[in-house]
Amino acid sequence: MAGNGGLPAGLNLAWSDSRLETALPALVRRDVRPALALLAATREDADRRELYVDVLGGAGQHLLADLRAVADERPDDPDRWLLLGSSLSEASWTARGAAVIEHTSDEQIHGMVNLAEQGRKALRRAADLAPKDPVPWSVLLHCASGSTDDPGELDRIFTRVQELGPDLYSANQVRLGTLTRKWYGSQEQALAFARELTHDLPPGHPLLALIASVHIEGMIDGGMRGNVIGRIWRTMRYLSKKEVRAEVDAASDRLLAGADQYADHPWSMAAHQVFAALYQDIPAHDRARPHLERGGPRPMPWPWGYFGDEVETLAAARKAAGLADG
C-alpha cells in the first residue's frame, strides 16, 4: 500500500537527510545502488547507519528476492547482508500483524517465524563480516523480539549492543518494549530501564524520549487488562497522575534544553515526535508544540500508530498546536 509520494505505507519518515531522500525512492524502484552507497558511507557512523537500515528495511521488505540476489552477488559485503536482514525483519513484523500474540493466527505466526529466522541468519552474517558494527545487533534485537519465546536470547543480543553501541536509539527503544508486561517483563522493569539509561544523559540527547515512551507503554498496558470500563478508566487516568506528568515534563524540558546541540542527530526528530504524541493524547498542546516543531511534518509509525493512522494523527496534532501541515 503506497503513501507519502508513492512510498510504501508504514515507513519511519521522521528524519531530514538529503541522501536518504534520494536512496529511499530509488530502492522502491528496485535500484539498490544508492542504498548500498549510503550504508558503505556510514560504517563509522552507527547512529546514522541504524536510521538508514530502519528506513530502507521498511521499503526493502517489498523486494526480498532482489535483495537476496544482491547479497549472493557479493557474499563478503556486510552492507548487503545488513540491508537484507533488516528487510526480512520488517517483513516478519508485517506478517505478524499488529495484534497481541493471543490474537495472531497460526498462519501469521508461521510466516513471521520463517521470515524472522531468515533475518537472523542474514544479520548474523553481517555481524560476522563486520564484528565492530553494532547495527546488525540492533536490528537483530528488533527481529528476535517479535519471534522468540526465549527472553534470554534478547538479553544476549542486547549485551552485544551495549558492548558495541550502547547509545543506539532504536536498539534501546526496542529493548524498552521487550521489558514491558505485554512482552516479557513488567511496567516496573521498563520504568527502571528508562530511568537508569536517561539519568546521566546530556540535555538534548534523543534517548531522553525513553521516558515518554515508557509512559506511553504504561498507558497502553492499562488498556489491555480487565473489563471494558476498567480499561477505559485506567487509560484515561494514567497520564493524569501528577508523578507521571512531572517525570514526563522534566524529560521534555531536558530534551528541549539541548535541542539545538542535537538537531543534526539522525534520531532527533523521532525523539521529539514521541513526546509530541504523548502530549497530544493528554492533551497538552502547548507542551506538544515545540516537539512538533522539531519533529517535522512527516510521521514515524510508532507511537502515532497507537492512537490511529499515523499520518492523520500527526496532522491533527500539528493543527491543534497551530502548526501548518507541511
Q: What is the pLDDT of residue 133?
A: 98
For 87, counting Cβ atoms within 10 Å of its Cβ (0-12 exposed, 13-18 middle, 19+ buried), the class is: buried
Residue corresponding to grid cell 563509522? 44
Gap between the Cα atoms of 79 and 199, Å rounded: 34
Residue corresponding to grid cell 521534555? 252
Q: What is the pLDDT of residue 320?
A: 96
Q: Which residues pair with 8 in a beta bridge?
A: 2
Q: Which of 184, 192, 125, 180 is nearest to 154 (CA)?
A: 184
Question: 1 CB contacts (<8 Å, ≥6 apart)?
Answer: 8, 9
| Residue-level pLDDT, tens digit, the chain, 326 residues | 344 568 999 999 999 999 999 999 999 999 999 999 999 999 999 999 999 999 999 999 999 999 999 999 999 999 999 999 999 999 998 886 544 444 343 344 456 678 999 999 999 999 999 999 999 999 999 999 877 778 899 999 999 999 999 999 999 999 999 999 888 789 999 999 999 999 999 999 999 999 999 999 998 876 555 444 444 455 567 888 999 999 999 999 999 999 999 999 999 999 999 999 999 999 999 999 999 999 999 999 999 999 999 999 999 999 999 997 76
Helix (H) or strand (E) holding 8: strand 7-8
Set of cell numbers at residue 310: 499515523
Question: 195 CB contacts (<8 Å, ≥6 apart)?
Answer: 211
